[in-house]
Structure 1
Amino acid sequence: MIQRFWRFLKDKEGPELVEWAVASVMIGALLIAVIMIVQNLEAILGWAKTSRDAPIIALWTGILIFVLIMTGPTLWRDWQEERSKRQQEP
């Protein structure tokens, strides 16, 4: 997945590359913020049984969110293509 993203970035030039680089950094910052928020929610709501469980829950939540961010646009595009194909058929 990372290699595919890297190949995608190598095709970009100039302002478009800067745009994608900034978007990538912003997604990373958002991911870190979400992990921190989830970790604080765990402590507040008492989801974590011990203080050692909180980072593990936050890590898995962060991984899940990261996977959704990386695969979401592809899944959405595939779904849109399938839908348009079905609408074009008589």
Structure 2
Amino acid sequence: MWTQRLMWIAWPAFLMAGVLEVLVFAFVDPHDLHWFGQPVALSRQGVYTVAFFVFWAVTMVSSGLTTLLAMSPFELNRCPVPEGDRPDDCRKPSGCV
């Protein structure tokens, strides 16, 4: 279940990171970039690589928050421990099956 959700998050984020990479670097030359007033000390390929992983991380966070918000309250609040082994603070509310 969690592996499937991870793929729901990672794969679209990977695709969008690629799209962002193309869009950003169609207009920006990596050698023109500055960090705190200093030129970036990476090669063009290094800037492309770092930017791709930053774009991927940001879009994964976005997709992850969307997936989290799409979960039902039952999915978020259920206790993964079997009924007899649950601690007192992990009891099912009354009326739940």
| Range into which the TM-score falls when normalised by the shorter chain | 0.3 to 0.5
Q: In proportion to residue count, which structure has more helix?
A: 1
> Radius of gyration: which is bigger?
2
